[in-house]
Amino acid sequence: MSQTPPTPILDRVRLPSDLKALTDRELHRLSDELRAETISAVSVTGGHLGAGLGVIELTVALHAVFDAPRDKIIWDVGHQCYPHKILTGRRDRIRTLRTKDGLSGFTKRSESPYDPFGAGHSSTSISAAVGFAMARELGAETGDAIAVIGDGAMSGGMAFEAMNHAGHLGKRVFVVLNDNEMSIAPPVGALSSYLTRLYSEGPMQDLKSVAKGAVSLLPEPFQEGARRAKEMLKGMAVGGTLFEELGFTYVGPVDGHDLDALLPLLRTLKARATGPVLIHALTKKGKGYAPAESRADRGHATAKFDVITGAQVKAPSNAPSYTKVFAESLVREAESDEKIVAITAAMPDGTGLNLFADRFPRRTFDVGIAEQHAVTFSAGLAAAGMRPFCAIYSTFLQRGYDQIVHDVAIQRLPVRFAIDRAGLVGADGATHAGSYDIGFMANLPGMVVMAAADEAELVHMVATAAAHDEGPIAFRYPRGEGMGVEMPERGQPLEIGKGRIVAEGARVAILSFGTRLAEVLKAREALAARGLAPTVADARFAKPLDTDLILRLVAEHEALICIEEGAVGGFGSHVAQFLSDQGVFDRGYKFRSMVLPDTFIDHASPEDMYASARMNASDIEAKVLELLGVAVAKRA
Ligand SMILES: Cc1ncc(C[n+]2csc(CCOP(=O)(O)OP(=O)(O)O)c2C)c(N)n1
Ligand SMILES: CC(=O)[C@@H](O)[C@H](O)COP(=O)(O)O
Ligand SMILES: [Mg+2]
């Protein structure tokens, strides 16, 4: 008679406290079930698969040994948090990951008490953990702080700022270095080679007994796993590591998929540690799912997929991505200009510089997750006469802002900033929105700031940037595909500070900066049906402004609307400043600036996010009618 399958252990786990009742053997089974559930969930939603599969056992072990939410488990970047979310009361919603009104794809304080610190940008976890640890030292009602940081995130400067401080403070804090020898791409940097040496060269023999001794401290019930742990400790490097020089007890490397090693080790450290401890765990990104393990990016980011085959379900593309257009345009420019070099901060594929590297490997630099260094490294290249294109997503460029001001703008160095993922990006949500670069770039003296209205414009802006040696220049473009417009053979440099009329109309002029132009033209069509077609212009430049064009639009129309995919303080604010200085408002001139609302917009599709920002065609149409005093039925 066939046996009824045992009830899945995962069905008995709603919160981490439920793990305390499980035996180590059951924790093994739970890990297998958690891995399967993670694969199943991401097959439905798409998202960051590889990183989560790499920390299944670490997630189980940390929640089995520590006591969240009193103990704070802080995930770095946070893209690997799906297993953590399944074990912390969100399994029922895990298939809403990264969808409108669904779970965030990163940890998020407002989502759960088990998410003590939000993430999305790399290398923040140790700083946050030290903050929690010192709050405890000062009497706050909080337990242990455990930062789980990857080898990629460890290349971010602030991780070392935090370790430097933690080592100085000497207080108990745990750092789990999740070393899977991967960033999004293979990791770069001397640190990565050092971590590899830590487990490939013979560790210092005389200190291994210290490590073995740590296990013998285990309370009797856990001795069962200790024998395995002792075997594993044989390979441990103890003493003399970089981390110990920074004041940490270094423990590792440990097999991050071996619960028989992880559980006794974490139990011992929880029972005995008195100061900062770094546990070096070796893991595999995409572990346990062959289609992820076999991919070059180990399944870092995936669309929805068939679990059996691993085949991803991708929407057909109608036009090249902006990223691809940028990269191919830059290759064309670099073919005739050997001074052009390209810099990425650990995002070669995301920025398209992998294409540039294929063609010009010696002129492409991946500096790791180190945007501050990327900017000033580019400044150094420019100071030496090169033409550096520093390609960093808008949101991540925020990391290098002081370097843009201090090392690039003040010295008026001709660094070219290729700002991808400008505007709202969709499933990655508020932490990845490219909302602020217009503001923080256009307020810098000498900075030229452009936004491509479509992929053809982007080709010309790459050429414009390549030709601009007078100072720094930036051009922004959104995530995703272009509009499907006709593409130029070759980019033609634009006249700096000059916009263009796109469609003539009357009464109202709309001056668009960037790709909202497509929505503006849709709105114009609807308005034309009412006999109210506005004039539409593409500003192309937020700095320097095309003041002749602006004054002409004001002179020829009773109202002017500006629109941009950015927060207040950007293009529209600069136009308002100019018109104010010209006294245009003294005459009661009607002006509106359509910008992102003063709030962080949660993840959804970009279309839905712009709808919530009231910046789609229907909103533009309504704005024109409002200015013309035409009554419209209010949208729900
Ligand atoms: C400041 C910043 N720059 C770039 C990124 C993009 N990014 C997301 S995950 C990742 C790689 C992280 O590697 P690692 O920490 O080793 O985690 P793994 O994916 O290997 O688990 C990068 C570069 C980011 N999130 N934050
Ligand atoms: C987790 C992270 O920060 C990156 O993987 C980011 O999600 C990449 O964004 P794109 O998908 O727009 O390249
Ligand atoms: Mg990694």
Q: Is 151 annotated as a binding residue?
A: yes
Q: Which two tokens stand for residue 379?
A: 């400044």
Please report which helix (H) or strand (E) contains residue 448, including its range.
strand 448-451
Give the CA angle between residues 456, 462, 468 to the nearest 5°.
135
pLDDT (average), residues 265-290: 97
For 503, counting Cβ atoms within 10 Å of its Cβ (0-12 exposed, 13-18 middle, 19+ buried), the class is: middle
Q: What is the pLDDT of residues 22-74, one digit of tens each?
A: 999 999 999 999 999 999 999 999 999 999 999 999 999 999 999 999 999 99
Q: Is 289 annotated as a binding residue?
A: yes
Q: What is the pLDDT of residues 432-451, one digit of tens each?
A: 999 999 999 999 999 999 99
CA atoms within 13 A on the CB side of 105: 27
Give the whole-angstrom CA distance, residue 312 versus residue 299.
Answer: 11
Task: For residue 288, report the phi and psi dihedrals to the nearest 5 degrees.
Answer: 90, 5
Low-confidence winner among 54-58, 118-122, 131-135, 236-240 (lowest mean pLDDT): 236-240
Residue 107 beta carbon below 6 angstroms from any ligand 1 atom: no
**pTM score, two decimals?**
0.94
Q: Output DSSP code: residue 71.
A: S
Q: Is 420 annotated as a binding residue?
A: no
Low-confidence winner among 164-173, 212-221, 305-314 (lowest mean pLDDT): 212-221
Question: Quick one: pLDDT at residue 5?
Answer: 77
Is the pLDDT at 224 greater than 90? The verdict is: no
Which residue owns the Cα nearest ligand 2 atom 7?
428
Q: Is 50 annotated as a binding residue?
A: no
The single residue of 371, 457, 564, 565 carrying the catalytic annotation is 371
| Helical spans, DSSP H, in 56-105 | 56-65, 82-85
What is the number of the ligand 1 atom nearest to the C-alpha of 51? Answer: 21
Q: Which ligand is nearest to the CA of 54?
A: 1
Q: Ligand 2 centroid vs 323 CA: distance in angstroms?
A: 13
* Three-state helix/strand/coil letters over 449-509: EEECCCHHHHHHHHHHHHHCCCCCEEEECCCCECCCCCCCCCCCCCCCCCCEEEECCCCEE
The single residue of 98, 287, 399, 540 carrying the catalytic annotation is 399
| Confidence grade of residue 227 (pLDDT, cut at 50, 70, 90) | low
Q: Which ligand is nearest to the CA of 369?
A: 1
Question: Quick one: pLDDT at residue 200?
Answer: 78
CA atoms within 13 A on the CB side of 531: 1
**What is the C-alpha end-to-end distance of the chain, expressed in Å?**
60
| Confidence grade of residue 2 (pLDDT, cut at 50, 70, 90) | confident
Residue 180 beta carbon below 6 angstroms from any ligand 1 atom: yes
Task: Tell me which residue of 447, 465, 344 sits closest to 405, measured CA to CA.
Answer: 447
Q: Is 252 annotated as a binding residue?
A: no
Cα-trace Rg, the chain? 27
User: Is residue 590 annotated as a catalytic residue, yes or no?
Assistant: no
Mutate which of 38, 58, 76, 77 to test ligand 1's pocket (most atoms within 8 Å of Cβ)? Answer: 77
Task: Enumerate residues lining ligand 2, CB below 6 A.
Answer: 48, 77, 79, 184, 301, 350, 421, 425, 428, 479
Is the pLDDT at 208 greater than 50? The verdict is: no
Supply the ipTM of this predicted assembly.
0.99
3-state helix, strand, coil split of the chain in percent (to 5) is 45, 15, 40
Residue 346 beta carbon below 6 angstroms from any ligand 1 atom: yes
Question: Quick one: pLDDT at residue 6?
Answer: 81
Mapped onto helix, strand or coil, the DSSP state of residue 180 is coil
The residue type at 206? D
Which residue owns the Cα nearest ligand 2 atom 5?
301
Q: What is the pLDDT of residues 374-399, one digit of tens each?
A: 999 999 999 999 999 999 999 999 99
User: What is the overall mean pLDDT for the chain?
Assistant: 94
| Confidence grade of residue 202 (pLDDT, cut at 50, 70, 90) | very low
